[in-house]
Amino acid sequence: MEDIVRRALAAAGAGYVEIRLEERTATSVNYVGRELENIGTTTGVGGCVRALVNGGWGFVSFNDASQIERCVKMACDQARMVGRNGSRLAPVAPAVDSWVNTVDVDPRAVPLEQKERLAAAYNRIILSAKGIQTSNVRYSDYHNIETFANTEGAMVRQETVFCGMLLAAIARDEMNIQRAFESIGDLRGYQIVAGQEAACEGVAKRAVDLLTARQADGGKYTVIVDPKLCGVFVHEAFGHLSESDFLYENPDMLGLMTVGKRFGTEQLAIVDDPTLPGEAGSYKYDSEGTRGVRTDLIRGGLLTGHLHSRETAAQMGTKPTGNARAISFNHPPIVRMSNTYLEPRDASFEQMVSEVDNGIYAVGMLGGMTEMEMFTFSAGEAWAIRGGKIREKVRDVVLTGNVKETLLNIDAIGNDLRFAGGLGGCGKAGQSPLRVSTGGPHIRIRNVVIGGRA
Amino acid sequence: MIEKILELARRAGASAEAFYSEGESRRADFDNNRLKYITTKSIRGVGLRVIRDGRIGFSSTTDLSRPERLVEHALESARYGQEAKFEFPAGVAPAAVPIFDRRVPDYPIEDGVRQASEAIEKVRAAAPRGQCSAEVSKHTGRQRLLNSAGLDVSFEFSRFTTGLGLLLVRDGSLLWTGDDNSSCAWFDRWDAYVGKVLSDVRCSEREIVPEPGVYPVVFTPDALDDALLETFENGVNGKLVQKRISPLSGKIGQRITDARFTLADDPTLDFAQGSAAVDCEGVAARRNVLIEAGVLKAFIYDLQTAGVLGEKSTGNGMRGFASQPAPSTTNLVIDAGDTPVERMIAGMERGLLVDQLIGAGQSNVLAGEFSVNVGLGFLVERGEIVARVKDCMLAGNVFEVFNNIAALGSLAELKGDLKAPHVQFAGLSLASG
């Protein structure tokens, strides 16, 4: 593999050229209701060439590696066509390295039959709960070998083993259809999907309970969010604005995201860190061969950094952070998060709740998205808080707002940091899902708009 | 190669179907007013579905050098797979639908770059502080479906896509607007995109946070697509009917919406994005009316789902090579009504016109619940657009609001895989803060 890459790079003319080759074997087992909808192993091979010539980018992807030299030429021609665009790369020392993420139990050593039995057992637990109409239980693992090389002399081989599981339940009472899910997944190995019986019972109960929950009234509330939802919020609402590909040619946006600007109280700190062992968003090198590093995005309530590729770092006169990531060989790397979290402080959950007169406790999530400084994200389940106590369950809690105001409105940060990965991932610019994790403790936010019927 | 895969599977005692897909796309991307990337993707792969001992197995690969491994994976999958309720079809009479336009491969990407640059210049002339993005993409593909019953069909198709976007920051407030289209035929819509973007800029000069309350709301076709139509797409999907989670199951023949509402799935529209002559498992494509004059008429099926439910495939077995077929809509068509959109707006004392809705799909889509942030929408007072609305959410239930239609637009234009008019709903809840 490495010889093919070296030969192809030698064929490149002027400018910068990089090649990524990928081999992937993926196994999945998917029950939907009583039926096993999909089971088995798929394989894929492919690669891409990215060229930077005279400040313009060209990109070519392929499945047929015998075409690689033609693709190098094509990428360079396309880059020339773009031309004189001023794109540059910040220097990084060319890495020659290989990395394998260590797992406790390698899913490749587990027979398909055992994976099927595990999924079937979880599926039975969910389906046997009263009020459950159907389920979605999906086991998924993959083994990925990525080889990266460029004309600066880098040659990096990374091997990743991911394993995870989706547990979803759908409850139904006539036209009232409610769903709940739990998704786990990271780089630790097969053992993480074992022993999830209680989680299966939990999602089934959640879906059934939502049938009788009352709909939240729209309006402005003090909201306490749990660690999972806190992580999603930090990723969706703030994290994406830290991605410099979106900032660097955009003085107005950069104005909103200037280093030194206040985003929260002294207590607020937000971090992106791909070096955490075993988390879903961890890696040693990004898809440009740059070593991933911990980046403080907010510290002491002040904006302290952005996430960078080599190109955005050059444009903004700073160092690459190793956040240029591609979901596969079929896409060029773009600036992405890795493991993004809000640092814990010392508030206890009980204390936070006791100080709320009229609020919402929002737990987990069904989804989230952001457009510029506006975000919406929906809680997996929620309860009303009145008089300092958690009361009845409510549903269809969709939180929305402006990220900066919302971060400034965080008035308590808990002591119970947790990370969440999962089978899903992050989507950006047509590249989805990218494995990431999000993390945080319980936090309390004042004045959050909850959508609902007025 | 594909013949060999099929032959290997047959020798192992399986009936089999190979779905091969290859395509080359070339696109130019503009970002922050400048041409940024030219990209070529040349992708191919094959999916193999087998039936052995009455059970379905599946695998896929992009590594065509190892057919034995693909067959082995598919056969292993069939040891556990679900019971097959169909047989691979032996023949098909394809629908007569044009999906390949020679002008797409023949159009030089350099010309696309020039047209996009000119459009960006026009927007920038009127909004100098704006940051434009644009996309020109051309794709040609070939698919071949081969099965052990003797079916062997191949199709060539083209796809042309363009888009123009504008990001404008004014006093710390962001306006993000744009327009795009996609078709199997080549087209030139740049002037229309520029017109739409500049009109949105003009209408957004004033911004307000509207009072919470109940408003009449006009949805553009894009907004319908963003927030409401997924509930119908899910509701008529045979797979969800099979799993008994479609809110529409058991409701065939019943009135479910306003009687002016007619919705069809139609893969036979000339050159539309979702058009096809045959679906991805060898069943002829055809128009299916889903809701007619408010009455639920039909669900959509692939072969297996239809088999399980004792129905017939409706020609909606869709897939890429890397996945098994599943029922999916092709192009959605909503019949136009008789009210020009200008008259809807002129007739509103106080209401909203919404174009982009954010966060759909997060609330309980299956049940029809929606709660969406208004990304781009306007307040209408006494028949005039007076301001862009900010920081507000619309919420309701799809089935309720489609029984509460005030007017249907008189023009339904095809855009991508949707042909729909504007729709005015009588009263929707708006929350704001």
- Express each pLDDT in A98-122 by its tens digit: 999 999 999 999 999 999 999 999 9
- Asked if A250's CB is within 8 angstroms of B35's CB, the reply is no
Residues lower than pLDDT 70 in chain B: 362-363, 433
Structure token pair of residue B406 = 């005030």
Structure token pair of residue A390 = 């958690």
Dihedral-angle region of residue B244 (phi above 0 means left; psi in -120 to 50 means alpha; beta otherwise) = left
- Asked if A179's CB is within 8 angstroms of B429's CB, the reply is no
Q: B352: closest CA among B374, B379, B376, B371?
A: B379
Tens-place pLDDT, residues B107-163: 999 999 999 999 999 999 999 989 999 999 999 999 999 999 999 999 999 999 999
Residues of chain A found within 8 Å of residue B404, distances taken between Cβ atoms: none
Q: Touching check for B25 and chain A: CB below 8 Å?
A: no
Q: B228: closest CA among B218, B213, B238, B241?
A: B218
pLDDT > 70? residue A410: yes
Dihedrals φ, ψ of B76, to 5°? Answer: -60, -45
- Asked if A178's CB is within 8 angstroms of B363's CB, the reply is no
- Asked if B41's CB is within 8 angstroms of A218's CB, the reply is no
By Cβ distance, the residue of B34, B61, B367 closest to A175 is: B367
pLDDT > 70? residue A453: no
Tens-place pLDDT, residues A344-354: 999 999 999 99
Q: Report chain A's mean pLDDT, rounded to a whole number.
A: 94
pLDDT at A169: 97
User: What are the DSSP E strand ranges found in B323-402?
Assistant: 326-327, 332-334, 350-358, 369-381, 384-389, 392-397
More confident residue, A429 or A181: A181
Q: B63: closest CA among A63, A22, A331, A4?
A: A63
Cα A359 from Cα A268, distance rounded (Å): 22
pLDDT at B433: 66
pLDDT at A86: 82
Cα A138 from Cα A20, distance rounded (Å): 29
Q: How far is A275 from chain B (nearest CA, A)?
A: 30
Contact of B38 with A52, CB cutoff 8 Å: no
Q: How far is B23 from chain A (nearest CA, A)?
A: 10
Q: Touching check for B359 and chain A: CB below 8 Å?
A: yes
Dihedrals φ, ψ of A316, to 5°? Answer: -100, 10
Contact of B161 with B182, CB cutoff 8 Å: yes
Contact of B368 with A172, CB cutoff 8 Å: no
Contact of A311 with A88, CB cutoff 8 Å: yes
**In CATH, what number does B2-200 get?**
3.30.2290.10
Contact of B315 with B330, CB cutoff 8 Å: no
pLDDT > 60? residue A46: yes
Domain spans of chain A, in order of start: 2-212, 215-451
pLDDT at A253: 77
Residues of chain B found within 8 Å of residue A35, distances taken between Cβ atoms: 82
Residues 6+ apart with CB under 8 A from B310: none
Tens-place pLDDT, residues A276-287: 999 999 999 999
Q: A91: closest CA among A245, A320, A326?
A: A320
Pairing type for strands A56-62 and B34-52 reads parallel
Residue type at A350 in one-letter notation: E
Q: Touching check for B403 and chain A: CB below 8 Å?
A: no
pLDDT at A454: 41
Domain spans of chain B, in order of start: 2-200, 207-433
Cα–Cα–Cα angle for B399, B402, B403, rounded to 5 degrees: 90
**Alpha-carbon separation of residue B392 from A223, A361, A399, B354, B380 (angstroms):** 18, 21, 11, 11, 15
Which residue, chain included where needed, has tokens 């490495």? A2
Tell me the CATH architecture of domain A2-212.
Answer: 2-Layer Sandwich (3.30)
Q: How far is B157 from chain A (nearest CA, A)?
A: 19
Confidence of residue A398 (pLDDT cuts 50, 70, 90): confident
pLDDT at A250: 74
Confidence of residue A341 (pLDDT cuts 50, 70, 90): very high
DSSP A1-48: -HHHHHHHHHT--SSEEEEEEEEEEEEEEEEETTEEEEEEEEEEEEEE
CB-count exposure of residue A244 (10 Å: 0-12, 13-18, 19+): buried
Q: Minimum mean pLDDT among A376-385, A406-415, B86-95: which range? A: A376-385
Contact of B91 with A62, CB cutoff 8 Å: no
By Cβ distance, the residue of A44, A175, A178 closest to B62 is: A44
DSSP three-state, residue B221: helix
pLDDT > 90? residue A215: no
pTM: predicted TM-score of the whole model, two decimal places = 0.93
- Asked if B373's CB is within 8 angstroms of A376's CB, the reply is yes
Dihedral-angle region of residue A33 (phi above 0 means left; psi in -120 to 50 means alpha; beta otherwise) = left
